[in-house]
Amino acid sequence: MDTSVNYDLEVLKEEARQLVKKGDIRRNEPIYSLCRFMPTCDWNCLEMELERNDFLLRDKVIDLLSNEKWDED
């Protein structure tokens, strides 16, 4: 039985946004730091989705959040 979740890039971006907002990760950390918060069985799917969208695991989290909206200036 496959219990992994099918992530798309928008889901991953939202997860990263929430982790940054909570202070669990920083924007300048590599994307692979997100794996601490994802089930191991899902990480291969996430990695493939990132690659399909021209992201590398060594890219920074801020690259995922490039279209981030700011509440304050």
Count: domains in the chain:
1
Return mean pLDDT, the chain: 83
Distances (CA, A) of 41 to 24, 34, 45, 71: 21, 14, 8, 35
Residue 16: band (very low, low, confident or very high) from pLDDT cuts 50, 70, 90: very high
pLDDT digits (tens, 9 = 90+) for 34-60: 888 888 777 888 888 999 999 999 999
- Residue 70: inside a domain: no
Per DSSP, the three-state class of 60 is strand
- Residue 60: inside a domain: yes
Distances (CA, A) of 43 to 4, 29, 39, 51: 9, 17, 7, 12
- Residue 4: inside a domain: no
Domain that holds residue 45: 9-64
Q: Which pTM was predicted?
A: 0.75
How would you label 21-37 residue by residue, b for 16+ Cβ within 10 Å and e otherwise? eeeebeeebebbbbeee
Tell me: pLDDT of 22 over 90: yes
- Residue 20: inside a domain: yes
- Residue 73: inside a domain: no
